[in-house]
């Protein structure tokens, strides 16, 4: 067991550097090439911000997972560790806010949806952190390595519901169970009902993790 990492410790800094680097690259790929400048002057160019926003959603979820694994190895009260996890996720969100602000240029008339996307992505990343925290603690109690399980689960949650939601005959709401599908719906933007489903699901997942951690903590203390 180790003390909780600060956001400036080397282990945490690696995750933040990856987040900044990947989101920066995604933003660059979303910006039109200089050869298109004349086209922009003559017609309404519709950029595809998907590269940046998909990178942003995925990498913040990855950061949450990375920090959740680390948090399970910290010492101290469980709720103190969870508070540190929330701080790490919020710091990750903070350092990519300039990218998110710049991406407003890629969403003509839809810039106001970005604060909603930021809130959703932060909540989803914290949910990933708690899932990783619980899975790592389970692995510790059974002396099982969960590293590959953690990232396989992250990929499944991000991709599978979103892919299923694009199949004919599958309700569109299924895609909203994935942060990628929900994030794209926020960007479009989707209907109020779709946004409500997306937020309700991720909040329920977060609540389930908190309640499960609470039960586990009480059980371990014989309460």
Reported residue count of the chain is 223
- Residue reference for tokens 């203390």: 221
Percent of the chain with pLDDT over 90: 45
The whole-angstrom separation of Cα 219 and Cα 202 is 26
Q: What is the crossing angle of helices 10-30 and 50-71, to 10°?
A: 170
Residues 44-96 pLDDT 10s: 444 466 788 899 999 999 999 999 998 888 888 888 999 999 999 999 999 99
Question: What is the average per-residue pLDDT within 179-187?
Answer: 91
Distance CA 141, CA 143 (A): 6
Give the three-state DSSP class for 15: helix
pLDDT at 48: 62
Preceding omega of 189 cis (within 30 degrees of 0): yes
**What is the model's pTM?**
0.87
DSSP summary character for residue 72 = T
Question: What distance in Å separates the CA atoms of residue 62 and residue 86, rounded to the nearest whole number?
Answer: 14
pLDDT band at 144 (very low <50, low <70, confident <90, very high): confident
pLDDT band at 40 (very low <50, low <70, confident <90, very high): very low
């Amino acid at each position: 067991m180790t003390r909780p990492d600060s956001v400036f410790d080397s282990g945490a800094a690696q995750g933040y550097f990856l987040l900044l680097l990947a989101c920066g690259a995604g933003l660059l790929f979303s910006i039109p090439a200089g050869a298109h400048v004349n086209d922009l002057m003559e017609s309404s160019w519709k950029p595809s911000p998907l590269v940046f926003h998909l990178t942003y959603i995925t990498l913040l979820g990855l950061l949450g997972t990375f920090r959740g694994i680390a948090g399970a190895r910290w010492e101290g009260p469980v709720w103190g560790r969870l508070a540190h996890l929330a701080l790490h996720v919020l710091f990750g969100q903070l350092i990519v806010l300039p990218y998110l602000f710049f991406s407003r240029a890629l969403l003509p008339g839809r810039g106001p949806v970005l604060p909603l996307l930021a809130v959703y992505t932060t909540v989803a990343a914290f949910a990933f952190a708690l899932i990783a925290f619980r899975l790592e603690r389970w692995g510790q109690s059974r002396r099982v390595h969960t590293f590959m399980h953690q990232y396989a689960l992250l990929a499944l949650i991000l991709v599978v519901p979103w892919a299923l939601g694009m199949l004919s005959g599958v309700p569109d709401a299924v895609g909203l169970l994935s942060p990628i599908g929900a994030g794209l719906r926020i960007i479009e933007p989707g209907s109020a009902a779709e946004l409500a489903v997306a937020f309700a699901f991720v909040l329920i997942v977060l609540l389930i993790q908190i309640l499960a951690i609470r039960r586990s903590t009480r059980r371990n203390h014989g309460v």
